[in-house]
């Protein structure tokens, strides 16, 4: 049985009953969202919060998928367009879009999501590592099969590669 936990702005979506994992299996938790018609997810432990779309400061000569810098409560972080990072056609940011504030191995960063759906608890039976005909990509961590849908689980730490803007976070956050 699936019940949705809708994400509201400036809060981490609360977890409600989702796919009931087998009592002997470990439940894995994910925040699901959409970019266009792509159904994506991040491990919940990587998502610090979900905020409303905000004004971003453009960064000259940055990678095209870096949307700009965000000042969140005095802390400056890069925000990326996952749409552009995944090679999809560009789309103008909309006030209904959300920013997922993520904690990677190296820093906090924001990821623009067009629609945030829900937090799901998935038993290991519905979770699998990509293989077979799936092209290997460092961004793709796993696949979730939920009802008739498939969600691609992205590796948050791979978003923060050396291609991101290099700036001294301690200087920017003084």
Q: Which residues in 9-97 belong to E strands, given as ranges?
A: 27-35, 38-43, 47-52, 66-72, 75-81
Structure tokens at 15: 């977890």
Please report, for the chain, the start and end positions of each structural domain, with discontinuous segments joined by +. Answer: 27-156
**b/e 34-68 (16+ beta carbons within 10 angstroms → b):** ebeeebbbbbbebbebbbebbebeebeebeebbbb
Q: Give the pLDDT band of residue 5 (cuts 50, 70, 90).
A: very low
Report the candidate in 42, 110, 47, 57 with the shortest Cα–Cα distance to residue 79. 110
d(CA 35, CA 49): 18
pLDDT at 125: 81
pTM for the model stands at 0.77
pLDDT digits (tens, 9 = 90+) for 76-95: 999 999 998 888 888 888 99
**Quick one: DSSP state of residue 136?**
P
**Going by C-beta distance under 8 Å and a sequence separation of 6 or more, which residues neighbour residue 33?**
40, 41, 42, 98, 100, 113, 114, 115, 116, 117
Over residues 63-74, the mean pLDDT reads 91
**Residue 53 pLDDT greater than 50, yes or no:** yes
More confident residue, 136 or 28: 28
Look at the block and give the residue holding tokens 């961590």: 141
Pairing of strands 38-43, 75-81: unpaired
> Are 136 and 24 a contacting pair, CB within 8 Å?
no
pLDDT digits (tens, 9 = 90+) for 95-147: 999 999 999 888 899 999 999 999 989 888 887 877 655 566 778 888 888 78
Over residues 14-19, the mean pLDDT reads 45
**Residue 14 pLDDT greater than 80, yes or no:** no
Over residues 46-53, the mean pLDDT reads 95
How many other β-carbons are positioned within 10 Å of the β-carbon of residue 110? Answer: 24
d(CA 89, CA 42): 22
Is 27-156 a domain of CATH 3.40.50.1820? no
pLDDT at 16: 41
**Residue 43 pLDDT greater than 90, yes or no:** yes
Report the candidate in 16, 21, 15 with the shortest Cα–Cα distance to residue 124. 21
């Amino acid at each position: 049985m699936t019940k949705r936990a809708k994400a509201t702005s400036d809060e981490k979506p609360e977890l409600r009953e989702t796919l009931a994992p087998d009592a002997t299996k470990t439940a894995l938790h994910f925040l699901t969202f959409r970019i266009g018609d792509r159904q994506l997810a991040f491990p919940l432990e990587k998502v610090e919060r979900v905020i409303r779309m905000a004004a971003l400061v453009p960064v000259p000569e940055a990678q095209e998928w870096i949307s700009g810098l965000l000042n969140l409560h005095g802390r400056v972080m890069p925000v990326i367009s996952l749409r552009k990072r995944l090679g999809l056609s560009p789309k103008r940011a909309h006030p209904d879009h959300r920013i997922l504030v993520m904690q990677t191995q190296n820093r906090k960063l924001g990821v623009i999501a067009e629609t945030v759906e829900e937090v799901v608890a998935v038993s290991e039976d519905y979770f699998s590592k990509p293989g077979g005909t799936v092209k290997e990509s460092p961004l793709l961590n796993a696949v979730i099969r939920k009802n008739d849908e498939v969600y691609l689980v992205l590796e948050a730490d791979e978003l923060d590669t050396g291609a991101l803007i290099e700036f001294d976070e301690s200087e920017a956050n003084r």
